[in-house]
Amino acid sequence: MAGRKGQSGRQDSQKMKPYLVYDYLMRETDANHVATANEIAEYLKECGIPAERRSIYKDIEEINKALLLTSGSHYDLPKAENIEEAEELLQDENEKTIIYDEHRKGFYVRKRHYKEDDVRILAECVHAARFIDDKRAKRLINVVSELVSEHQAEDIKKDTLLLGRVKTENIAIYEMTSKISSAMSHKRNKQIHIPEKIRFKYVSYVLSDGIKQTERRKGEWYTVGPYKLLISDGNYYLLAYDDKMKKIVTYRIDRMKNLELTGEPRCGEEEFKTLNMESYLQEHFGMFDGEREHVKIRALNTLLDTFIDRFGTRDAKYMKDDNNHFIATLHVSVSGQFFGWLCGLGNRVKIVSPNHVSEEFKKYLDKIYGLYE
């Protein structure tokens, strides 16, 4: 009986072998790193599973076959309808996920769900988002890095974390976004969808024996109807109808605290329906508040990329002025933020029209100059 039990245990462990081989190759190999049959056998031995070289070759053949049957297009492979079709497709080396490199005498995973560049972009986006704190950013980068080999993951983590970013210290932001989403999707019953209001305290920074946060409106509650979560410049915002101000307003979520659902039906439905979302976002996240006007600016040709990156090509027009300059016609909110952006470009730009905007800009510059007289 004891002998039979031991034999059964060995057979059960052999059933795990193809999975362990696949997992090992996914972690340890890529186009620049291969694993020999001996290395794979050694790994299996550490797992308590004896394996011969020949059986490993057979396992990899079966893995490639299974991937054609189950993954197909996810690995940029044709999806096989049955085993016979999979076996036929595998006659072509290009259809294999795991291939053998004759020169390096080892196997490696050639095709994955995600390419290394895809994962690098995902990792950089996580690290660039200000609303994701350092601890969570590192954990999420570790998660996406599991989509590539450990060698590639090491390079991605090293390259990504070299770039310093300002990160939020308000880790409650994740709980708050979850509550906001819940409020926007609240259902009183299975048939009626009734989003509800939320309330919160809103804070700002002050200098008082160091940098501290203070509650706005002397700690009064903000009660709003949440409509949309937005991300701009790495920060999370809430687009909401403010009951007290009677209009659509945006709030930085990392500046909120003590957020609660009120259970009261949301207001502002009509205001939100008539809101021109594109104009609103351009005004509040492009150049902030101010009167919208068509402004012509003369600029050096070397700044064309800068203007297109900022204003795009759909709502802005660009015309050649001379061999060294172009004229940009922009629909912008004329504000201090807009003038500040122009200051950053120095004497390489000039407001051409309208004249009153040019005069406003002169006054803006005079105030700055006055600080240094």
Sort strands 317-320 and 325-334 into parallel, antiparallel or unpaired: antiparallel
Query: Which of 97, 95, 96, 109 lies closest to 32, judged by CA?
Result: 109
Question: How far is Cα 279 from Cα 237, in angstroms, rounded to an integer?
Answer: 17
- Tell me what pLDDT residue 315 has: 74
Domain ranges for the chain, please list them. 2-109, 116-161, 173-275, 283-370
DSSP letters along 320-345, please? E-SSSEEEEEEEEEESHHHHHHHHTT
CB atoms within 10 A of CB 250: 16
Q: What is the mean pLDDT of residues 216-240?
A: 87
Q: What percent of the chain has pLDDT over 70?
A: 83
Tell which CATH classification among 1.20.120, 2.60.120, 3.30.70, 1.10.3470 matches the domain 283-370. Answer: 3.30.70
Q: What is the mean pLDDT of residues 263-278?
A: 85
C-alpha distances (whole Å) from 108 to each of 90, 111, 189 are 16, 9, 53
Counting Cα atoms < 13 Å in the Cβ hemisphere of 23 gives 8
| SS3 label, residue 329 | strand
251 contacts 222 by C-beta, under 8 angstroms: yes
- Tell me what pLDDT residue 1 has: 41
For residue 290, which amino acid is it?
G
331 contacts 296 by C-beta, under 8 angstroms: no
- Tell me what pLDDT residue 81 has: 81
For residue 287, is pLDDT > 50?
Answer: no
DSSP letters along 259-312, please? EEEEEEEP--HHHHHT--HHHHHHHHHTS-SSEEEEEEEEEEGGGHHHHHHHH-
CB atoms within 10 A of CB 239: 20
Query: Which of 117, 98, 118 lies closest to 28, judged by CA?
Result: 98
Query: Which of 23, 96, 106 lies closest to 64, judged by CA?
Result: 96
C-alpha distances (whole Å) from 249 to each of 195, 213, 244, 263 are 17, 21, 11, 21
**Structure confidence by residue, pLDDT tens digits, 240-251:** 998 888 888 889
Residue with token string 């979520």 = 253
- Tell me what pLDDT residue 37 has: 93
**Structure confidence by residue, pLDDT tens digits, 150-165:** 888 888 777 665 445 5
Question: How far is Cα 123 from Cα 82, in angstroms, rounded to an integer?
Answer: 37
Quick one: pLDDT band at residue 304, thresholds 50, 70, 90?
confident
Question: How far is Cα 131 from Cα 235, in angstroms, rounded to an integer?
Answer: 5
- Tell me what pLDDT residue 332 has: 81
Identify the DSSP state of 112.
Answer: -
Question: How far is Cα 233 from Cα 288, in angstroms, rounded to an integer?
Answer: 13
Quick one: pLDDT band at residue 34, thresholds 50, 70, 90?
very high
CB atoms within 10 A of CB 38: 12
Strands (E), 24-131: 98-101, 106-109
For residue 186, is pLDDT > 90?
Answer: no
- Tell me what pLDDT residue 283 has: 63
Backbone dihedral region for residue 77 (phi beyond 0: left; psi -120 to 50: alpha; all else: beta): beta
Identify the DSSP state of 371.
Answer: T
Question: How far is Cα 332 from Cα 349, in angstroms, rounded to an integer?
Answer: 16
**Structure confidence by residue, pLDDT tens digits, 133-151:** 778 888 888 888 888 898 8
For residue 79, is pLDDT > 60?
Answer: yes
Number of H-type helices and E-type strands within the chain = 13, 12
Residues making up the chain, counted from first to last: 373
Q: What is the mean pLDDT of residues 214-218?
A: 88
Residue with token string 């949440």 = 226
- Tell me what pLDDT residue 72 has: 54
For residue 298, is pLDDT > 50?
Answer: yes
Quick one: pLDDT band at residue 222, thresholds 50, 70, 90?
very high
